[in-house]
Amino acid sequence: MTAVGAPQERAQLAPLLTEPEREAPVRRPPRVRGTLATGLLYAALAAVTVAFVYPFVWLVSASFKPRSEVFDNRLVPDTFTLDNYVQVWHEAPMALWLLNTVVVTVLATVAVTVSSAMVAWGFSYFRFRGRGPLFGLVLATMMLPGAVTMIPTYLIWDSLGQVGTLTPLWAQNLFGSAFYIFLLRQFFLGLPRELFEAARMDGANQWQVFTRIALPLTRPALVVTALFEFQAAWTDLMRPLIYLRDSSTFTIPRGLKAMLDQFGFGGEWHWEIVVTASVIATVPMIVLFFLGQRHFVEGIATTGSKG
């Protein structure tokens, strides 16, 4: 009753109001709560950013310090030196370890990206009996912990005479990955099927439809898959510990473990060598992320919109 009568009463009082009173805007209280919430959000994000960035900043700073000042917790070195970056190449075959890591990482990335894309394309495009249960079986392999298949996988590679070589570190990626298959299948399902049918009517075969139409349209997903696998292969320590014996076949993570044993706890306590080698091993991944950041963000954002 009051809500209905309020406009009528104001209309009756309108002739009695002065011109400035009729045109004056209604003042609203400031949004104090919204401003406070935004400030708290930015403060929380800043705190999380510092928590993630500080260890790497400390690591870089320690790599430019002499042995006696490594753990002084100063982000700006009191004594700045480049001797650590010269000495680390003499103490360990870093160049050979970097080369082995690049070879393993590139082969693993290419193998899992191509094989996962082919399997995902089969599950998304072709219609066949038992497709659903078979895809569910593929996803079920994600539930198996790596420790369950560690010994059988080792016995297989040992029977093939590949223990002590770089082959076990990348060759198993030729069979794809359940997570990447699921990711790429979601992208393929979001593509219009009429586009592929039109290409088939124009004379394109299945391989041409896959390589010339489907793959270019799923480039963001392929980049995300490649970045994920590149990071996983570059930082993998478990498999090099199991399969590599000779230091000439070590990758960077396995080499860092050997340097930690030699110069870290129980060793010679040359921590400046360890932190410098860690910086050298970390920088390539940071550079790669910045180079592929646009595709990475685009791929993650598009993944959430695919049906």
Instruction: Say whether both 71 and 182 belong to one domain.
Output: no
| Residue 255, burial from CB neighbour count under 10 angstroms (0-12, 13-18, 19+) | buried
Instruction: Say whether both 224 and 160 belong to one domain.
Output: yes
Instruction: Say whether both 203 and 246 belong to one domain.
Output: yes
User: What is the number of structural domains in the chain?
Assistant: 2
| Most confidently predicted of 7-11, 109-113, 189-193, 283-287 | 109-113
pTM of the model: 0.79
- Whether residue 9 is contained in a domain is answered as no
Instruction: Say whether both 60 and 159 belong to one domain.
Output: no
What's the pLDDT band for 144 if we cut at 50, 70, 90? confident
Residue 58's Cα: distance from chain center in Å?
A: 22
CATH at residue 179: 1.10.3720.10
Q: What whole-number distance in Å separates Cα of residue 88 and Cα of residue 97?
A: 12
Domain encompassing residue 67: 32-81
- Whether residue 68 is contained in a domain is answered as yes
- Whether residue 17 is contained in a domain is answered as no
- Whether residue 23 is contained in a domain is answered as no
- Whether residue 24 is contained in a domain is answered as no
Instruction: Say whether both 39 and 108 belong to one domain.
Output: no
What's the pLDDT band for 298 if we cut at 50, 70, 90? low
Instruction: Say whether both 70 and 124 belong to one domain.
Output: no
Q: What whole-number distance in Å separates Cα of residue 65 and Cα of residue 81?
A: 6
Instruction: Say whether both 74 and 220 belong to one domain.
Output: no
Q: Does 303 score more than 60 pLDDT?
A: no
What's the pLDDT band for 26 if we cut at 50, 70, 90? low
- Whether residue 96 is contained in a domain is answered as yes
Instruction: Say whether both 59 and 182 belong to one domain.
Output: no
pLDDT score of 21: 47
Last residue of a domain, one of 81, 116, 141: 81
- Whether residue 139 is contained in a domain is answered as yes
Instruction: Say whether both 45 and 103 belong to one domain.
Output: no
Residue 68's Cα: distance from chain center in Å?
A: 36
Across the range 245-257, mean pLDDT stands at 91
Kindly give, in sequence order, each residue whose CB lies less than 8 Å from that of residue 190, ignoring residues fewer than 6 positions away: 305, 306, 307
In 3D space, the residue among 119, 159, 164, 169 whose CA is nearest the CA of residue 139 turns out to be 119
Query: Per-residue pLDDT tens for 187-226?
Result: 898 888 888 888 888 888 889 999 999 999 888 889 889 9
